[in-house]
Structure 1
Amino acid sequence: MKLLVAALIASFSCVFTTPNRNEFSTLNTANPSLHKQLLTGMELVDYVNNNQQLFEASYTDANELRKKLMKPHYDRRIGKPQLQENEEDTAGIPESFDARTQWPHCPSISLIRDQADCGSCWAFAVGESISDRVCIATDANKTAEFSVEDILTCCDECGFGCDGGFPDAAWEYFVSTGVVTGGLYGTKNACRPYEISPCGNHPNETFYRNCTGVSTPSCKTSCQKGYPVSYKDDKTRGRKSYNLANSVSAIQKDILKHGPLVATFSVYEDFMYYKKGIYRYTHGGYEGGHAVRILGWGVENNVKYWIIANSWNTDWGEDGFFRMVRGINDCGIEESVSAGLY
């Protein structure tokens, strides 16, 4: 048993499973022969910018971003879909939708966080989506941010903290145990804000430290000093958690009704260099798994896309957000989707 546990821990950060053959058959649309000699760094950036027109790439320190991912070979554990949907049933679905403008009185929807050098994307995506959905369900009467820290450190069934975790288990934790209030690093008016300081250089932000990687903080069942509510009384519980079918319309209908939800996908090196536009895998080696919030969708120049919030600070991508091609399950974005209800 000890050997099994050790093997599991060794295999786990914020990226999931090694891509299967079906993924490669749909993703390698540029020049398959190049995948035998995978480009990297500036050569990859130049190749992406010269061989497709959907998105623009810009070089950044990929090693720093790798610390934000779940470790390679992390299994995507997504249960059997509990909400089935006929893919052809698109009645009532608008051509475009953006949760940020649909629910403007819920500030959490537009907020971009910074997970720093911890593979906590799974906890961020779920914690952020909980904040969004609670606000929406209460008509903005409850606008508190919920604690990523609580999910990351105290959910024993969720995974391995900064080495990666399971979004569906985090939703189950919200239902069974509840989550306290939280917020960004340094937040005062909350029970358990994010304990890990931002790292690296970001425009107009305080520099705290270099991104060297961190260990998972310990679980604390008490609120920070000065917060007037007890940990137990600060908990908010959900009433249901579920996984969605691999269906564009199922995802769209759930967002229309309840707000942003969580998707996981495989990350390749070209994604790290994304600057703007509609991302579609072009070239680059597999890096791991990542969990994000899908906020909506749209169409540009006849290309359908998802609107997605990342947790890599606002100086990455389109002010912290990115768009990804919709309808072809690019990098597995449409096959591992989970959500919950308040």
Structure 2
Amino acid sequence: MKLLLAVFLGLLAAVSSSPVKSLKQDFVEYSADLVEKINSMDTTWRAGRHFAGETAASVLDRFSTAGLSLEKAPKLPVVEYDRAGAIPTEFDARTKWPNCPSIGRVNDQGRCRASWAFSAVGAMTDRQCIVHPSAPFNYSVTDAVTCNVFHEVPDGCAGGYSADAWSTWVLDGLVSGGGYHTSNGCRPYAYKPCDHYETGSYGPCESPPDSTYCNKTCINGYTKTYAEDKKKGDYRYDLPLNETIIQEDIMTSGPVSADMNLYQDFLNYRSGVYQHKTETRVGLLTVKIIGWGVENNQKYWLCVNSWNSEWGDKGLVKILRGTDECGLEANVHAGKVIQ
């Protein structure tokens, strides 16, 4: 046990030299001890056991995004936005656009560090349905991961920035694709779901692939060629660090993607309004924001994660709103669908 603890603390030091604000470092972070410590604090959320049975090394390997940081994230043109009216206290895009089931869909990135693609591609798919409800189009996460046109992401399974997915959509286009092991679309998702929960039903995650390959062909039996299937967006943009403008954009046009710092305690989120209680960053994560609300006097963003519906609050997470928690509000990206 002492040897395992020493190895784990060494890994943490390699990921981040930042001190832990509210938790001691004399325990294995992904154990029940972390859950107990979080739940004994006077905070706004509850923790639960996730990733049980895994080593610290395997958990860190799954989420580590070496070399990537919010400071290095690409910037898109900032949208000019005029306020259109009052902002409601609560909003849920699933309720406003009930005929677009993709809005509330919880996916699983599996062994690939592809949250950056899932969030952006998910928001593109949502916005496509909102603008063209009679002709929905599920964009391919695999295409965004493997055929990204930017050098910032030479290997999409090593992590990335959602701004690059939006730019690829506008400048080069993306084909269609459904979930893992489906025949939906030109390029369905390539990696099987896996457990992100203590007693998950999918089985353990494999190691991330060493590289990704841009295969510009559709699956056998699909009726269109890769080139014929592609769709482009009209333009892509950043939203300013302004809570009200972000709300206005979601309420008007649909969900957005948001890059954020991933702290060790986020992995054990179960319910409530998340705000990080540790300063040890284990990587980057991107979520899709679909709404907002207030819980126990705490404002939050309603976000969809990509660790399947067994993680967190049925795959969703509420993140503290109005304080740029984890850098989320300063890194919100979106795009306009061609009419």
Say whether the fold is shared (TM-score over 0.5): yes
Q: Is the 8 A contact 2:76 2:163 kept in 1?
A: no
Query: Per the alignment, in what secondary structure is the counterpart of residue 291 of structure 2?
Result: strand
In 2, Cα distance between the equivalents of 1:340 and 1:316?
Answer: 28
Q: Is the 8 A contact 1:38 1:285 kept in 2?
A: no
Asked if 1:245 is matched to 2:234, the reply is: no
Asked if 1:44 is matched to 2:34, the reply is: yes
Query: Per the alignment, in what secondary structure is the counterpart of residue 150 of structure 1?
Result: helix
Q: CA deviation at 1:315?
A: 0.3
Asked if 1:83 is matched to 2:79, the reply is: yes
Q: CA deviation at 1:38?
A: 8.2
Match of 1:269 in 2: 264
Q: Is the 8 A contact 1:71 1:164 kept in 2?
A: yes
CA deviation profile, 1:169-220 (whole Å, cap 9, x unmatched): 211110111111001101213100011122348778565x643222343111
Q: Is the 8 A contact 2:140 2:176 kept in 1?
A: yes
Q: CA deviation at 1:66?
A: 3.8
Structure 1 residues 90 and 40: CA distance shift in structure 2, 3 A:
farther
Question: Which sections of structure 2, spanning at least 5 residues, go unmatched?
Answer: 1-14
Aligned residues: 313
Match of 1:321 in 2: 316
TM-score with structure 2 length normalisation? 0.84
Asked if 1:146 is matched to 2:139, the reply is: yes
Of residues 165, 177, 187, the one that matches 1:182 is 177
1:222 aligned partner, one-letter code: T
TM-score with structure 1 length normalisation? 0.84
Aligned-residue sequence identity (percent) comes to: 34
2:293 aligned partner, one-letter code: G
Q: CA deviation at 1:284?
A: 5.5
Of residues 316, 335, 338, the one that matches 1:340 is 335
Asked if 1:218 is matched to 2:218, the reply is: no
Of residues 217, 226, 231, the one that matches 1:231 is 226
Query: Per the alignment, in what secondary structure is the counterpart of residue 233 of structure 2?
Result: coil
Match of 1:107 in 2: 101
Match of 1:297 in 2: 292
Match of 1:5 in 2: none
Structure 1 residues 112 and 233: CA distance shift in structure 2, 3 A:
same
Question: Which sections of structure 1, spanning at least 5 residues, go unmatched?
Answer: 1-16
Asked if 1:155 is matched to 2:148, the reply is: yes
Query: Per the alignment, in what secondary structure is the counterpart of residue 282 of structure 2?
Result: strand
In 2, Cα distance between the equivalents of 1:70 and 1:226?
Answer: 37
In 1, Cα distance between the equivalents of 2:314 and 2:158?
Answer: 26
In 2, Cα distance between the equivalents of 1:37 and 1:80?
Answer: 42
Structure 1 residues 117 and 309: CA distance shift in structure 2, 3 A:
same
Match of 1:7 in 2: none
Q: CA deviation at 1:72?
A: 3.9
Structure 1 residues 108 and 33: CA distance shift in structure 2, 3 A:
closer
Superposition RMSD in Å: 2.7
Match of 2:68 in 1: 74
In 1, Cα distance between the equivalents of 2:314 and 2:69?
Answer: 30
Asked if 1:279 is matched to 2:274, the reply is: yes
Q: Is the 8 A contact 2:27 2:33 kept in 1?
A: no
Match of 1:98 in 2: 92
Q: Is the 8 A contact 2:177 2:188 kept in 1?
A: yes
Q: Is the 8 A contact 2:76 2:237 kept in 1?
A: no
Query: Per the alignment, in what secondary structure is the counterpart of residue 156 of structure 1?
Result: coil
1:303 aligned partner, one-letter code: Q
> Bigger shift: 37-46 or 103-112?
37-46
In 2, Cα distance between the equivalents of 1:165 and 1:93?
Answer: 32
Q: CA deviation at 1:241?
A: 0.4
> Bigger shift: 320-329 or 160-169?
160-169
Q: CA deviation at 1:307?
A: 0.1
Query: Per the alignment, in what secondary structure is the counterpart of residue 334 of structure 2?
Result: strand
2:171 aligned partner, one-letter code: S
1:134 aligned partner, one-letter code: Q
Q: CA deviation at 1:58?
A: 1.0
Structure 1 residues 80 and 173: CA distance shift in structure 2, 3 A:
closer
Match of 1:58 in 2: 48
2:186 aligned partner, one-letter code: C
In 2, Cα distance between the equivalents of 1:264 and 1:219?
Answer: 24
Asked if 1:310 is matched to 2:335, the reply is: no
Query: Per the alignment, in what secondary structure is the counterpart of residue 63 of structure 2?
Result: coil
Q: Is the 8 A contact 2:50 2:311 kept in 1?
A: no
In 1, Cα distance between the equivalents of 2:134 and 2:222?
Answer: 20
CA deviation profile, 1:54-86 (whole Å, cap 9, x unmatched): 111012227555444351441221416512569
